[in-house]
Structures are given as C-alpha cells and as structure tokens.
Amino acid sequence: MRLVRKPRIDPVRWQPPPVDPLPEVPSPDVTVVPLPGNGPEDVVTDASGHIWTGLEDGRIVRISPDRGAPAVVADTGGRPLGLHVARDGRVLICDSHRGLLALDPADRTLTTLAESVAGRPLMFCSNVTETSDGTIYFTESTCDFRFEHYTAAVIEARGRGGLFKLGADGTVTQLLDGLYFANGVTPTADESALVFAETQARRLSKYWLSGPQAGSVTPLAVHLPGMPDNISTGADGRIWTAMVAEVNTALEWLVPRAPVLRKLAWRLPERLQPHIKPEVWALAFDPGSGHVVAGLRTKHPEFGVVTGLVESAGRLWMGTINYPAVAHVDLAATGL
C-alpha cells in the first residue's frame, strides 16, 4: 500500500462546546449488506427504491433493496462522499478529489458541476442537496485538506468549512464560511431553510432560505454528545443525523491548550492516534424544536461508525467509512 505523507498542521486554541445529555434511544436489530469495497460514506435512495453509495476507491454502487445485490455503475476516480438524487434522476456526488459531480444513471456518464470556488480548487466537497426549484447546495468540510487527512482539520480546530450554492449558470456562491467541519446538508420539508451539520462544533443549524430570517443562521440542536456527519430529511420532516462518534475527551482536552501539544500528537504513529469507537448510532431531530424524536444506538461486529443515512421503504439505511458494507434497521423500531 502506498504511504501518504502527513501534511503539516497549524492548530489554534479553540474552546469546544459543552455536552448536553440526550434521551436514550432504542437498540434495534441491524441487517448488514456486504459491498465489493470499503467505506460507503453516504447512502441515498432513488425513485425506484434503489440505494446508492460511493466506495473509497471511487466506485459508485447501486443496491437492490430486495436482493441487496450491489452493482457498480460508475467510477469517479476520486473519493466520493455525500450523494443526492436530483429531481431529474441524476446522482449528485461530492468527491473530495474532483469536486461536485453528476452521474446520469441511464448512460453512466459523469459530468463535473463545480471543481473550484473563488479561484481555488474544492478540497473536501462533503455533502450535497437540491431544493424543488432545482437549486443545488453543497458543503465543504475544510479548504485545507482532502478526505484522507480529515483528522488534520479536526486537530487544527480552525473553522475552514463552508456552505455553497450552485447557480444554474455554474456559478458557485459562498453562503457561509468559518464552519467547523461542515458536513451534512438537507432542506426542511417546507424548504424554508437548510439544515446543516458541523461535525467538530457538534451542532445542527438552520440557514434560512425564505421568510423574515432569510440569509441568517439559527441553532437547531447544539452541545451534542457526539459528532454529527451526513443528514437527511425523513418522510415526516424529521432530520435524521448520522452520529459518527461520541465526544473524544482526549482531543477536547487538548484543543483549548497550547497548539504545540497537538503538533506533537499529530506526529505520533497511527497506532497511537485516537480511534473511533465503532457504534451504530443515529438520531432524528424535530425540525422545529430540535428535540430528539427517534434514533438508535447499538453495536454490531460487522458494521459501525455511521456517516450517512436515509429512509426508504420502511427502513433506515446507513453508510460508514470503516466497513465494506451498508446496513439497515426497521424504521418503526427507532421511535421513542
């Protein structure tokens, strides 16, 4: 395996938010669907009920919901992350190496929608969504690192993420910057706002698209006890949130202290770096109050570290960066 040299980091002091407790959630049975590759980071569903995901080697896979049989449809040649099925049936793909792409499932062609912003390349296109008027929105977790070094952005603790809008003419407009590892993005059911996740800040926020608060940001769920990743809107408007990991107490002890301590920690061998505990964890939040209304938290020997999720045909499907599989649970078993 080719070794990738670690980039230099330039950490700053940062005060992490406190942790607020959340209600306990169920531990339903988990069904694992093996895939022909590792790291299906996000999962989305199309009009026919097929599940789509992207593997760490660049392949885009379609899964039959009945047989669970995966079929490779395309290869981005990069690292696909967040996905979204557009109104016209194309699969929108955030690729950390190639930017924002669109896949036509009919002829399997890939088109680049955006590969740069403000004259610089997109480094970490993270998640993408579309509203009913055809407007595309996407996030960039950090403008400094690719996906392979996502931990560098977290250890640095610099707010280098952003939220963007793609215009019909291909123009990219930055709506927000200074986000702490921007990740999932999804519209509310009435499309009055976008909900977006900041993984490091451990919060969900609303960017208002209409009404008296248009263009402003308000909090939805803050002080989370874990790190939110990709998100999606459920059939009843709930905001499903993949909880990739619980709070890393060692890192959160370090970030308010002298940055040189994190520079030293970054140089440690991989085996000495902190690792994610492999749980199967997801929460659904009410889009108005921010209260938890459903969820699951359990363990499975062949699946964990949930990074993406979507409702489909009575199931909650989940993706991960750490396993060669997707998984699903009975949606009815996730209620509180």
Three-state DSSP string of 226-283? EEEEEEEECCCCCEEEEEEEECCHHHHHHCCCCHHHHHHHHCCCHHHCCCCCCCEEEE
Per-residue pLDDT reduced to its tens digit, 34-67: 999 999 999 999 999 999 999 999 999 999 987 7
Q: How far apart are the C-alpha atoms of 227 and 251, rounded to whole Å?
A: 13
Confidence (pTM)? 0.96
Token digits of residue 73: 């449809």
Q: Please name the fold of domain 31-333.
A: Neuraminidase (2.120.10)
pLDDT, position 152: 93
Q: Parse the chain into domains and list their residue ranges.
A: 31-333
- From edge to edge, which strands make up the β-sheet containing 280-285? 226-233, 239-246, 280-285, 292-298
Vertex 199 angle, CA 197 and 201, to 5°: 95
- Cβ proximity of 280 and 297 under 8 Å: yes
pLDDT, position 4: 61
Q: What is the mean pLDDT of each run of 10 residues along the chain (336 residues)?
A: 73 96 97 97 96 98 84 97 97 97 97 94 97 96 94 94 94 97 98 98 98 98 98 97 94 94 88 81 98 98 98 97 97 97
pLDDT, position 168: 85
Per-residue pLDDT reduced to its tens digit, 98-146: 999 999 999 999 999 999 998 999 999 999 999 999 999 999 999 999 9
